[in-house]
Amino acid sequence: MNEQTFEEKKILQLIHDVKVKQVCGSFDITTKTLQLLKDIISNGKWEHAEELMKILRIYGHIMKDALPQETVVANLVRRILKIIREEFDLLEVKVHHLIDDSQATLSLHKLVTQTSECDVLIDYTKPRSGLKEAILDHLQEIENELEISWESICAQAEQHVHSTEVILTLGHSKNAEHFLKKAIEKRQSLTIIIAECAPTCRGHNLAASLASKNAEIIVIPDSAIFAMMSRVNKVIIGTHSVLANGGLRAACGAYTVGLAAKHYSVPVIVLAPMYKLAPIHLCSYEQDAFNSLGNAEGILPYDCLAARSAKIYSPMFDYVPPELVTLFISNTGGHAPSYVYRLLTELYHPDDYEI
């Protein structure tokens, strides 16, 4: 049996920490994964870009299979693979002096139409001096972007929330919490309606966090979402991930909120940092991989008579189709669901959609 390398041990430790909830939340998982991949790139033994991409694909595949619900891990690996390609191409251009640095970036047409065929002539097996330093510098920029992502989202609160408005949210999203705190700070007489998101009832945590602020906070059961929606000016929710078609993988209950909002023509605003954009689609036969089941004790106690003859499923996530979403607010600005494909093209290379 082969002895595990230091990198493999660190990857397995990260997987273990995520599974036992020592590291939880998309932001923390992304930050830990980025630090791990930076260590692999800086300390790993690789000679050229192709070898480095192969190493990252192997480790990315291990983490993706071990943590199928955490799409941010695979998203980060895809983004780093795109960075490696870009930095190699820039060094290649500078070496051969084909074009000046001002023309080194890809044009809009190339970004939209790029395929694996147009990269056949690029030989990533050529060693390039300065490649490691260029990649690490770019990853430092990504790390800085991650650290200020929620601040960039919160800075847009004043543009989308106005005084005396009634806002409905669901559960407890960290991005939604920071966004609403900023909105309450900038606007007067806001009313925040929070659906409790049973059975975990995480909405109560958000209500407690916002209670000391200068706004009216109302917690409602999930069954009252439709009844309250007629009073609401806009819906603001977080999401676990954004799919390639602009749909959401969000907390269970988000689909109910979306349908009610559509019935009353209430705009639905989704807070989603760029690292949550995933180039994957939901198929009907993939529900088992798409969703995960939580503890059903809060729905039906184990020791009750009905539990003996019943099967209880407590799904953690809902799929929300893009037609129910009005606007995405990311750290780069506001985008319509139909614009997600363009953002994916900027973030990831088509060859890396499947790790």
pLDDT digits (tens, 9 = 90+) for 288-314: 566 777 777 777 777 878 777 888 887
Q: In whole angstroms, what is the distance from residue 82 CA to residue 259 CA?
A: 37
Residue 328: how many other CB atoms lie within 10 Å: 26
Among 39-53, 144-158, 323-337, the least confident range: 39-53
Confidence at residue 113, expressed as pLDDT on a 0 to 100 scale: 54
Residue in this structure with the two tokens 């490691």, named with its chain if needed: 132
List pLDDT tens digits, range 227-272: 899 999 999 998 988 998 888 888 888 999 999 999 999 999 999 8
Do the bridges between strand 333-335 and strand 327-330 make them parallel or antiparallel, or are there none, so unpaired? antiparallel
Q: Is the pLDDT of residue 119 over 50?
A: no
pLDDT above 70: percentage of residues in the chain: 89
Q: Is the pLDDT of residue 118 over 50?
A: no
Q: What are phi and psi of 271, to 5 degrees?
A: -95, 115
Confidence at residue 116, expressed as pLDDT on a 0 to 100 scale: 45
Q: Is the pLDDT of residue 213 over 80?
A: no
Alpha helices, DSSP H only, in the chain?
Answer: 6-19, 26-43, 49-66, 71-96, 108-113, 131-147, 149-154, 157-160, 174-186, 203-210, 225-229, 254-263, 287-290, 340-347
pLDDT band per the 50, 70, 90 thresholds, residue 105: low
* Summary mean pLDDT of the chain: 82
Lookup: tokens for 297:
């004790």
**Could you tell me the CA-to-CA distances from 239 to 211, 214, 319 in Å, in that order?**
23, 26, 10
List pLDDT tens digits, range 20-75: 888 888 888 888 888 888 888 888 787 787 888 888 888 888 888 888 888 888 89
Lookup: tokens for 179:
């966004």
Confidence at residue 121, expressed as pLDDT on a 0 to 100 scale: 62
Confidence at residue 2, expressed as pLDDT on a 0 to 100 scale: 52
Q: How many CA atoms within 13 Å lie on the side-chain side of 344?
A: 23
Residue in this structure with the two tokens 């009073």, named with its chain if needed: 231
DSSP state letter for 227: H
DSSP state letter for 297: G
Q: Which residue has the higher pLDDT, 47 or 168?
A: 168
Question: CB of 104 within 8 A of CB of 93?
Answer: yes
Confidence at residue 44, expressed as pLDDT on a 0 to 100 scale: 76
Q: What is the pTM of this model?
A: 0.82
Q: In whole angstroms, what is the distance from residue 197 CA to residue 99 CA?
A: 55
pLDDT band per the 50, 70, 90 thresholds, residue 287: low
Q: What are phi and psi of 25, to 5 degrees?
A: 95, 140
